[in-house]
Amino acid sequence: MPSLSPAAPSPEPSPAATVAGDAAATVAAAPAASDAVAVSPRQPAAADLATLAARAAGDDLLAPPVRLDSVVPAPERVEADPGATFVLTGDATIRVTAHPGAREVADHLAELLRPATGFPLPIADTLEVGPTGTLTLTLATTPASPAPAPPADLGAEGYRLDVTATEVRVVADTATGLFYGVQTLRQLLPAAVESPTPVTTRWALPGGTILDRPRFPYRGSMLDVARHFFAVEDVLRVIDHLARYKLNHLHLHLTDDQGWRIAVDSWPKLAGVGGASEVGGGPGGHYTKADYRRIVSHAAARHVTLVPEIDLPGHTNAALVAYPRLAPDKLAPSPYTGTEVGFSYVDPSDEQTYDFIADVLGEVAALTPGPWLHIGGDEAFKVKGAVYTDFVERAQRIVADTGKAVVGWHQLAPAAHLDGRVLQWWGTDADDPTTADAVRRGARLILSPGNHAYLDMKYAEDTPIGHDWAGLIDVRRAYDWDPGTHVAGVPTTAVLGVEAPLWTESVTSLTDIEFMLFPRLPAIAELGWSPRAAHDWAGFRERLAGHGPRWSTAGITFHRAPEIPWPATPTIPRQERAPQNDPTTP
């Protein structure tokens, strides 16, 4: 199918469409390849071009800045100053505290803004205000900083953002705080900022002050790379999606019955043999240690901590295919490509099993800078009672020996407490005395209730992929619950945070991943970040709606959930781009 041509047919696609305001942002499509020759039936009329020119001239009525209170997740405090719009221009500079972490954030900001604006945005390691509009990133803890200390205790992740007519200033105590200030700054620019190619528009930011910090320290998502394997590039893109919404943990479900996805030098057949399968009979795959380090470093640059999961004692068929001596009957099972659970387990009565666990967890811990090791523990239906708790207690001690803290699904609850132990709640009834008791004994909880936070659940009956065993999860259901009070008998103080898992039995591509993440991931992100007092479905759906054009412009697939008032599709002609948005829409 031929591409629609740009406005003036020419062998070279026009470098940028002219856009203004959120609703029109998606016209900033990537240039088509050399086949842009056909005269399009959707060529703009002269009147359209005149409107575009008027908008580009900067008429605030046609292209008002984004609202200061439109940020997702909702900030703790927002004070708009409608008289003080800042307009980013080609001679703007980025000024940053001379500090390596802050400098990295400044580089990140420049990388976010340069493609769409086409501005050079040079970075200076000085806080002296330049002659023109500047973007300033200040680490308040640096003694040389001339900035006043932030008025509130911003903590390890908070920031203050001030937008005046002459400057945009982010102040934080840490580079992480600056990074989150930059994510907010990005959302205050027109949606066209997401364009991978230059766009001519008025780069206005709304005036005022935002003071912000998270409600919970752990905000995450999980990607199951075991049921289907996903390339490193896909994982990096998911990390970018998390960072956009101030999520700071990526839990990688690295092993399951259908595949073992991480290279382990001391047990090489785990990845080499156990990695060569996946649901549906595809080729599978695994991450080399170099691959995994790439993921770790990309995550670190986005202030995301990796949480690797080696699921034990169940969900281990792939390991048993590679090393039958770990199996209770010492016989090699067939590779598994179905979607049943609960049938496989490593032999809890054989010492070799604990050598295997120590070797694997030791190598994974050495590759992982973050403090956590996740040992699964779910659905080990054939390892019961004391055999199960004894196994878990040994595995927990092996984790502690690596210097990491244990995370496990809430089935770990009956086992003895160990310092720093974290349980991940994935139940659907929110009432589990065993989990509440483990919390009383010192465990903290990550909230992933299956009926609210499971992103592999279908949105609606007709969602083409996904499960429904925990119910249908539309955006409202993903949003309307409180992690702080969700599980009976678990106080807010014991809640470490929230995580939205994506199991991938039916998810086979990056497009599928994004379709299940968006728009529910921002809902979970808001539960993890925003103060409970800001919780408001009516306001959230309005704010979320403004992100549709951002995702379209960035080429991110999303589900056009009917309960969100998405802005109308722009009427301005645009070039065809890769299929996007809702695969259910013809």
Structure-token pair, residue 323: 């090393």
In whole angstroms, the minimum distance from the beta carbon of 295 to ligand TNX comes to 21
Should residue 378 be labelled a site residue for ligand TNX when binding is judged by CB under 6 A? yes
Residue 561 neighbours by CB distance under 10 Å: 22
| Residue 191 vs 447, nearer CB to ligand TNX | 447
In the list 336, 503, 540, 566, the residue contacting ligand TNX (rule: CB under 6 A) is 503
Indicate the helix (H) or strand (E) that contains 208: strand 208-212
Compute the least distance from the CB of residue 486 to ligand TNX, in Å. Answer: 16
- Residue whose CB is less far from ligand TNX, 503 or 551: 503
Site for ligand TNX in 78-137 (CB under 6 A): none
CB of 517 to ligand TNX, least distance (A): 15
Cα–chain center distance at 281: 28
| 388 binding ligand TNX? (CB under 6 A) | no
Closer Cβ to ligand TNX, 298 or 467, answer by number: 467
Two tokens, residue 30:
């990537």
Angle at the Cα of 182 from the Cα atoms of 180 and 184, rounded to 5 degrees = 75
Closest of 472, 438, 470, 439 to residue 458, by C-alpha: 472
Residues 142, 148, 150, 151, CA torsion sign: positive
Ramachandran angles phi, psi of 263, nearest 5°: -65, 135
Minimal distance, residue 559 CB to ligand TNX, in Å:
18
- Which residues partner with 444 through β-bridges? 422
CB of 503 to ligand TNX, least distance (A): 4
Instruction: Give whichever of 502 and 564 is closer to ligand TNX, judged by the CB atom.
Output: 502
Q: Which of 379, 393, 480, 582 binds ligand TNX (CB under 6 A)?
A: 379
Distance (Å, whole) CA 265 – CA 282: 24
**Binding ligand TNX by CB under 6 A: which of 216, 267, 323, 409?**
409
What's the distance, Cα to Cα, between the start and end of the chain in Å?
16
The reply to whether omega before 519 is within 30° of 0 (cis) is yes
Q: Which two tokens stand for residue 144?
A: 């040389």
Closer by beta carbon to ligand TNX, 206 or else 501:
501
88-to-142, 437, 506, 516 alpha-carbon distances in Å: 27, 54, 44, 34
Q: Is 410 in the site for ligand TNX (CB under 6 A)?
A: no
The helix (H) or strand (E) run that includes residue 203 is: strand 203-205
Which parts of 253-312 interact with ligand TNX (CB under 6 A)? none
Q: How far is the CB of 454 from ligand TNX (least distance, A)?
A: 6
Q: Which of residues 460-479 bind ligand TNX (CB under 6 A)?
A: 467
Query: Binding residue for ligand TNX (CB under 6 A) from 426, 529, 540, 558?
Result: 426
Binding residues for ligand TNX restricted to 331-360, rule: CB under 6 A = 341
Does the CA dihedral 419-423-429-430 come out positive or negative? positive
Closer to ligand TNX by CB, 162 or 505: give it. Answer: 505
Distance of closest approach, residue 278 Cβ to ligand TNX, in angstroms: 13
Considering the candidates 104, 167, 379, 563, report the single residue annotated as catalytic. 379
Residues 188-217 that bind ligand TNX (CB under 6 A): none
Cβ atoms of 491 and 578 within 8 Å: the answer is no
Which of 309, 456, 474, 526 lies at the binding interface for ligand TNX (CB under 6 A)? 456
In sequence order, what are the beta bridge partners of 263?
Answer: none
- Region at 342 (left for phi over 0; alpha for psi -120 to 50; beta for the rest): left
Q: Which is nearer to ligand TNX, 297 or 434 (CB)?
A: 434
SS3 state at 263: coil
Binding pattern to ligand TNX, positions 230-249, x when CB under 6 A? --------------------
Number of chain residues interacting with ligand TNX (CB under 6 A): 10
Count other C-beta atoms under 10 Å from residue 266's C-beta.
12
Cβ distance to ligand TNX smaller for residue 187 or 424: 424
Cβ closest to ligand TNX, residue 241 vs residue 315 = 315
Mark whether 379 is an active-site residue: yes
Burial 436-473 (b: 16+ CB within 10 A, else e): bebbeeebbbbbbbbbbbbbbbbbeeebebbbeebeeb
Nearest to 396 by CA among 378, 428, 380, 419: 419
Smallest distance from the beta carbon of 270 to ligand TNX, in angstroms?
19
Residue 54 CB-half CA count within 13 A:
9
DSSP label at 69? G
Q: Which residues are catalytic?
A: 379
Instruction: Provide the binding-site residues for ligand TNX, judged by CB under 6 A.
Output: 341, 378-379, 409, 426, 454, 456, 467, 503, 505
